[in-house]
Amino acid sequence: MAVADTLRAPRAGDFAIAGVTAVAAISALLLVRALLSDLPEDPSTPAIGTTSWWLVGGVILVQCMLLSWARHAPRTVVLSVSAAALLLALTLPGAVFDVATFAVPVAVFFGFRTGPSRSLWVVLTTAAMIVAAGSVVNGIGAEGADPLLAVGEAAVQIGGLFIVPLLLAAMLRARRESRESHRREVEALTRERDALVDATVSRERTVMARELHDIAAHHLSGIALMAAAVERQISTDPDAAREAAAQIRTESTAVLQNLRRVVGLLRDDDAAERSVETFASVPDLVARVSADQISDVQLRMLRSASDRPFGSGVGPLAQLAAYRTIQESLANAVIHAPGGACLVEIDDTRASAVRVLVRNAVAEVASDPAARGGGFGLVGMRERADLIGAELRHGHTPEGGWEVRLTIPREPLPGEAEPVGERTS
């Protein structure tokens, strides 16, 4: 049973515990002799300096020395100090037996506090029986007590030497486990919080990347086409080239302002502001694209016959997604179908959904291959549509152009219902 124990080097605290126990036991031994000094011939209390006294003192010191390993070898120490007490009861029965049991509750306390196990319970039961046997032998041999009375005294002594330290050790161990459990819970909550923060940061980075892509794609595609026009006109039509260069400067300023606004979201100060684009921002977007003289863009905003506000029932996030879809579609039209007419239509006549349509005709001039790119425009549109629960469709038109359709559902307004037979696809 003692195989699992390890004889590690004791720490300073272990030596301190052993030393305090030794001082208490030797002091008790001296006190017992002083209290019974009027009985010099009593064999149960050996006189100081005699062989019997030194034998008792040596046994006590050995027990206390063993306590230095009570943390690392609790089974061996508990059995050893209990056996030493029994040996003393067999050789020198008397009042000093109680002093010889001082080390037993200390060994039991540290043994159980280190970690109870099935083998430790077996050891504690065996040690209790050894101490009980020593108490019975001591009571009968030194005091001549009745055997039944000696057994009762042994039971009381076992309760004080084993049950009390076991309860104290169990209480302290429960408090330690409670603190450890609380610490692990705090660590788990901290890890969960960090994971949520990382996930939030990751989503914000995705949104930021999409915003930057849309801004750059919309403005830089126009800049690239205007730069190509300047290159062709600089020698043939200087006035038109200067006008195109001014437009490039305007577009460059606009893209810098928009990028500065988006990057400002990363700051913690209150100076960073952001304007949220909605359906009301679409006319300005179309006007800027038309003013660049890159494409002829027509805007149609179909309003409901009721008095409800335009786009009611569609939240700010969904309107922002629609705005970005229109912006990305126009940027794609500028790149892939330069000079072709474009139509932007926002249909708000249906009670169940708002439909957004962006259609461009076939390119009138050949597009610049250098301005093309793989891009993530359609991927970004799809992600936004999924985010707001909208339906996105895109593809070629029968005339050879391209169109993008976005259907944004909304909650039906009170008193309104979608016409019978109307479809939302």
**Domain boundaries of the chain, sorted by first residue:** 2-145, 277-425
Contacts of 198 (CB under 8 A, 6+ apart): none
3-class state of residue 405 by DSSP? strand
pLDDT at 256: 65
CA gap 256, 222 in Å, rounded: 14
Q: What is the CA radius of gyration of the chain?
A: 46
Angle, CA of 233, 238 and 241, to the nearest 5°: 55
CA gap 311, 308 in Å, rounded: 8
- Which single residue is written with the structure tokens 């849309």? 214
CA gap 82, 74 in Å, rounded: 12
- What are the structure tokens assigned to 399, written together? 């005339």
The number of beta carbons lying within 10 Å of the beta carbon of residue 265 is: 13
- Which single residue is written with the structure tokens 């300023």? 253
The number of beta carbons lying within 10 Å of the beta carbon of residue 257 is: 12
- Could you tell me whether strands 353-360 and 391-396 are parallel, antiparallel, or unpaired per DSSP bridges? unpaired
Q: How far is CA 425 from CA 26, 313, 394, 406, in A?
A: 97, 19, 12, 9
pLDDT at 422: 41
How far is CA 199 from its chain centroid? 11
Question: Could you read off the pLDDT tens digit of each residue along the chain, which spans 425 residues?
Answer: 334 566 666 777 778 887 888 888 777 777 766 666 655 555 556 667 677 778 877 888 888 888 888 777 778 888 888 888 887 777 666 667 777 787 888 888 887 777 666 777 888 888 888 888 877 877 776 666 677 777 887 788 888 888 888 888 888 888 888 888 888 888 888 888 888 887 877 776 676 666 666 666 666 666 776 777 777 777 777 777 777 777 777 767 666 666 666 665 555 444 444 456 788 989 988 888 877 655 678 899 999 888 788 888 888 778 888 998 998 888 888 888 777 889 999 999 988 899 999 998 887 665 555 445 555 678 878 888 887 889 999 999 998 889 999 999 986 554 554 444 343 33
Contacts of 375 (CB under 8 A, 6+ apart): 213, 217, 332
CATH 3.40.640.10 fits 277-425, yes or no: no
Q: Which amino acid is at 80?
A: S
| Helical packing angle, 12-35 and 103-114, nearest 10° | 150
Q: How far is CA 372 from CA 157, 222, 225, 369, in A?
A: 94, 12, 11, 5
pLDDT at 268: 46
CA gap 376, 115 in Å, rounded: 60
| Under 8 Å between Cβ of 104 and 124 | no
- Model confidence, pTM: 0.40
Q: Which amino acid is at 352?
A: S
3-class state of residue 35 by DSSP? helix
